Structures are given as C-alpha cells and as structure tokens.
Chain A
Amino acid sequence: MTNNDWYNALEMRHGAELQQKFSSACVAVCGLGGLGSNTAISLARAGVGTLHLIDFDKVDISNLHRQQYAVSQLGMYKTDALKQTLSEISPYCNILTYTLKLTEDNLSILSHCDVICECFDNAESKAMLVNGISELYPVKYIVAASGMSGLHTGNTIQTKRLGKRLYICGDGTSDVADDGTLFAPRVMLCAAHQANTVLRILSGKFEI
C-alpha cells in the first residue's frame, strides 16, 4: 500500500476538501492510557496527518483491560507501543513520540499542534494541562475528558464546551477514586467523544 493508495482511499471516504483538512492537521494526545490510546487510533484511522504521542509510562499487565495494547507490548514504553500499533493502521501518519511527563515547564513541546487532547487519568494533571495551555496558547483547541469511570450508563457521557476553545467530554462526575475502576467500553465512549470532537474542530464545526 503506497501513500497514494492510502490517501486516495481516505479521500474517497471523506471527500477531498475534508481529507485535506485532516491530513494537514497536527494533534497532540497527552496521556496514552484508556483515553489516549483509543483517541489516537480513531484519529489515525481518519488520516490526521501528524500525531504527537506523549506519555512517560510503560505498558503494564493492569492496562490490558481497557487500553489498546497487546501482551507482546508489555514492558514497552506506551509511546513506542502505540506508534507500533498505529503504523499497522495508518503507516503514513507522521507520528512524533515524547516519552516524558508533561508539566507546566515543558508545555512548549505542544507549540506546533492545532488541537490538544487531554487524556490523563489524574485530576490535577488534567487541570494543569487545560489551564496551562489556555494561558500559554489561548488560540489552541483543547479536548479534555472528565468522568468515565465505573459501570454507569453510557448515556451520560457527553461533550461540553467552555469558552470558545475548550471542550470537555465525559459525565463530569464519576471519579475512579469512588468507582474503584474503569471499564473498556465506557472509557472508549469518552475517547470516541474526544476523537469525534477533534475531527469536528478540524472540519470547522465548532458547535457541540
């Protein structure tokens, strides 16, 4: 499969104008757990041109119940493992990996991205990224997530918009500290909201 084969197939599905928008876009996925691994796969399938994958952690056996990794990838950095998986799905996607912990001090690595997906699991890290990007790069779009734990109904996972450039997906309330754990489908629902929101932003549809 050549790059042309791949591009033509996407163009046939999405139309030339929309595919051009996806292909020229750069999206960052911050955190490659249940949310980030699923979000990145959807974005790669849609033909988003450049993905920045950011995570400091390695694939652990406890991740397999909801994150898009395989047994053969146990012990690998999530950045490397997800890049490997994406190369089988979307070999011509330009993937940059950053194996590090994002903090207020290194947010500048996101300076080239049009849209930033907040896919962390820690509440304080989520708030740090959303507030840090809003302050440092007020023109960037942020698609965050809050509340997708437990085995609650899937019908409460929604996308909310704050200000002009911040979107928050999830039910807003289910905290893994209370629910004890997360389940693959509910996390995937939330990740699907995130990826869908990114594609809508890239296509120029900003309303929710």
Chain B
Amino acid sequence: MIKVNGENVENIAGKNVAEYLTESGYDIKRVAVELNGDILPKSQYSDTILKEDDCVEIVSFVGGG
C-alpha cells in the first residue's frame, strides 16, 4: 500500500511519479512532491518509481498572493 496525502492508494506501485501525477489530474507545473520525508526534485519525477510503503505528499499550488 502506498500512502498519498494521508490516504492509502492501491495499484500504483510501479508507476513513476510523473505518470501518477498526470493520471491523477495534477498539473505538474503547479506541484511540489514530498516522497518519504524529502522534497523530490522535479527532474527526478520520471525516474522515480513508486514502491510499496512509500509515503507521498503532493501540494498543488493555487493562485493568489
């Protein structure tokens, strides 16, 4: 099981982070991703494969300031 934003998500192990974000409807240009306690550099999204017991936090920035 992989935890995404505090919720258990099934059947995503093996996908890379870029794939998961796109399939889940995130706009990659607006997100920051924490993987197991560290901010994942954007350049590594395509090469980082999600695996069992990963803990992912995704922040999708909204406009205004």
In the bound complex, do residue A163 and residue B39 qualify as a contact, i.e. CB atoms below 8 Å apart?
A: yes
Tell me whether A124 and B30 are in contact in the complex, defined as CB-CB below 8 angstroms, given that A135-B43, A166-B39 are known contacts: yes
- The B contact surface, by secondary structure, is mixed
> How many A-B contacts if CB must be within 8 Å?
90
Complex Cα spacing A36 to B65, Å: 8
User: Could you tell me the distance in whole angstroms from the C-beta of A185 to the nearest C-beta in chain B?
Assistant: 14
When C-beta atoms are compared, the residue in chain B nearest to A160 turns out to be B59
When C-beta atoms are compared, the residue in chain A nearest to B29 turns out to be A124
In the bound complex, do residue B59 and residue A146 qualify as a contact, i.e. CB atoms below 8 Å apart?
A: yes
Stretch at the interface among A40-48, A82-90, A126-134, A199-207: A126-134
In the bound complex, do residue B65 and residue A162 qualify as a contact, i.e. CB atoms below 8 Å apart?
A: no
Complex Cα spacing A119 to B63, Å: 11
Interface size of B by Cβ–Cβ distance < 8 Å?
19
In the bound complex, do residue B62 and residue A166 qualify as a contact, i.e. CB atoms below 8 Å apart?
A: no
In the bound complex, do residue B41 and residue A166 qualify as a contact, i.e. CB atoms below 8 Å apart?
A: no
In the bound complex, do residue A187 and residue B32 qualify as a contact, i.e. CB atoms below 8 Å apart?
A: no
User: B residues bordering A, Cβ < 8 Å?
Assistant: 29-32, 34, 37-39, 41-43, 57, 59-65
27 contacting pairs across A/B (C-beta < 8 A): A31-B65, A36-B65, A119-B65, A121-B64, A123-B62, A126-B61, A126-B65, A127-B31, A127-B32, A127-B61, A130-B32, A130-B61, A134-B41, A135-B41, A144-B61, A146-B59, A160-B59, A162-B59, A163-B37, A165-B39, A168-B59, A172-B59, A175-B62, A175-B64, A177-B63, A182-B64, A187-B65
User: A residues bordering B, Cβ < 8 Å?
Assistant: 31, 33-36, 119-124, 126-128, 130-131, 134-135, 138, 144-149, 160, 162-166, 168, 172-177, 179, 182, 187
What are the nearest 9 A-B pairs in CB distance? A121-B65, A176-B64, A175-B62, A149-B64, A134-B39, A126-B61, A123-B61, A135-B41, A162-B34
